[in-house]
Chain A
Amino acid sequence: MTVTRRGLIQGTLAAGLATMPGVRSLAFAADGSPDVLVVVFLRGGADALSLVAPADDPDYLAARAPELRVATEGPKAGLRLAQEMAPAIDFRLHPEAAPLAELYAGRQLAIVHAVGLSDGTRSHFVAQDLMEHGIGQEGELARTGTGWVARWLDGDGARPPGPVAAVGTVAAPPATLARFGAAVAVPDLRAGLAPPGGPQAADVLAALHHGESPYERAARAALGGLSAIDGHLSRGPDGKVESYGAEGGAVYEETEAGRALQTVARILKMDVGLRVACVDVGGWDTHEHQPGRFANAVGQLSRALAAFHADTVRYHGRVTLAVMSEFGRRLRTNRSQGTDHGHGGAMLVLGGRVAGGRMFGRWPGLASHQLDRGVDLAVTTDYRAVLAELVGPAAAARAFPGFRTPPPLGLQTG
């Protein structure tokens, strides 16, 4: 189905606010299953100008060494994106992102460019903290102990989160889930999640952790979350967890992104009340040797996203995936064949309900006077505007208090 923005807007006028693109909240399907948001965080600051490149922009050509640009022609030419965000510029995906180009052409993938923080930090750790806590300014950090997803789910009186409402795929739950009691951090399911030592140990562990200290509460939440997931893992006659059978011809590679998204898909299909999954993918801090490292990282990420999308085809009506990073990288390349920390970045939004095949946002340009502090891609869309649109206004009010949500970009088809 081809959906134009104009058609959508006319439709919403007739149907009322509830179906307006972007105002549709992540809510519940007709059978009561919750909608699911998967947030993929690219740790280290992904170079948005190589991922979604303004390939023929003269300022881009002037500032970047050729091997750190996406080309418009030749064997390594980028993959051209049909878009109306900045029609005069030939935006191209990195050549290793062919699976993403296909999803974009199939209108499952949308891109928001020049997105990020309004704060001027170029620190990984400050920028990640701001985004994970869902705030805009460093001054707010000291008084914001909770992650934005924690505020969203914890405040949901209509549907209190169950034991597996939020999953993180690294050993330490990300700050996005900070102070969320029911976050389950599980990097891998393949060896099972039952506590070691069999039922005897499980009984002892349950009896040992009945107090209210943070440690004991965490232990109880872990025991609950682990057994809720482990109980749904199918096992062979030898007691070993059976290997996961992906659907839709999906193939997950043995990469950080592949493993993590396979874990998310497997838990999603257990129907245990998953609502948010936080996936971390590292390797984006390309100060040095960027061409090979970035190509590798983009290829792995693209294939993992495509595998997840194919595998979860039965869930496309209620799963949306967003890809973000703490910042983009410097326009000008350094002499290590790399790029240093920058500012504006790009976000990807993937799913069956996404108004895909389009680029969103406002392109600020790359001339010196258009750059943030004279060096970096400026931010014209706050990262919270994208997330708020995906979770809907009621949840956004809890997740991002004090953030004035701009008019919806129209990222979802309703």
Chain B
Amino acid sequence: MRALKGVSFDLVRGEVHALAGENGAGKSTLIKVLTAAIQPDEGELWLDGQRIHPRDPFQARAAGIAAIYQQPALFPHLTVAENIALAGDSGSPWHRISWAQRTAHASALLQRIGANFSPSALVSDLTPAEQQLVELAKALDANARVLIMDEPTAALGEQDTQNLYRIVDDLKSKGVAIVYITHRFEELMRLASRVTVLRDGNSIDTRRMDSVTQHDLIRLMVGREIDTVFPVRDTVPGEVMLELRHLRCARAGVKDVSLTLRRGEVLGLSGLIGSGRTQMAETIFGLTPAESGEMLLNGKIVSTPNPQAARSLGIAYVPEDRRRHGVVMALPIDQNISLAALHRVSSAAGMIDLKRERAAAQGFQTSLSIKAPSVETVVQNLSGGNQQKVALARWLFTEPRILILDEPTQGIDVGAKAEIYRLIADLAGQGMAILMISSELPEVLGLSDRIAVMAGGRIAGILDRSEATAHGVMELACRTTGAAA
């Protein structure tokens, strides 16, 4: 898989250059390449007229490229001064660190960025905003000439955000070139002088911010052609099967979700990463039980305190991170498929009928065309698409009424994607209610009866299939992110 195909952009001293793009457009990969966390297959990196090829993040820092991320990467049990000192090289023999000097130095750095906590404070005692400032201090300490900021305001409140803007302005005036990644349009407008839009691992266009509108940007971000044919869906959704009323699980980031899901319906769930889509699914499935709000199944109030309860209500959840949790990699196909419904292949005493188990797995192998030598093949040895089919088969074997799919086609090839799409359409046709979380707009637009868009832990809007456009979905997803944070 190549996350980046061809990206070119240039950066001028003292400018804030924004990167924009959908989930998976290649922004994070680009940062990793710039900071040498991963090595590019080809391409060149030039800094101040010299070609550089840093081998690791440490060399990149030495060359003057530093990055701060959404989530601070600090040692929580060390002090602020220690964290700052450990990021750099003390330059003295034996790498001896003079703590008095480092603490004074850290103090000066913190003052410069307007932080009002002590350099001897423990990082774990700081707020996320303060931790973000420590990251910034680390970057300043490295005398960064290029500073990459990946959604630095994602965890910050309004006041801290303003403070960060002020620091960015200050750095800019000192000649630091800043690569700024954000989903918030107001932030782009406020900070950036130019913006480069990435899509599918390519840089699409670089524009000056004063000559571009929000509308243009969205068009550039989603402007991809739909390259997969979606199955024709002509079933009309039936009665309401699942209804959520003000579902809330604040500790997981689900603030207030109300929606309905009908029999035979595919409800697409769109939204940016971090908007709470997966968390909402996990709340429905009982992994992070709801704190308040109601859940109605066929008109009756139900609760899902744990996954076992959800399963016995007929709710199935095929999780996003298939590679880690959708299947058990070390077990063979048949044992993976029966795992969520062992009662269906075993006696009341818990004795598994191995023949029945194998037969059931073979049935799915045929119907979902899982490509493997036999159902005894260990799942680890299958391709991503086939692993996904095993994960699906496991839940179909529980005969669910409600199927929640989280990024069902992530990281699988086009052929397998088309098969999964056909399967989703078939299942809905048979009357299953399907909630499909996806970051791929074409897939959401191509398969769903309705599209719910989440932002900031809330439903930002629900669009009907007939009125939904990529532009409309992105607008809902981006517009409210800023306001909700």
Q: Do A and B bind each other?
A: no
Chain B residues in the interface with A (C-beta under 8 A): none
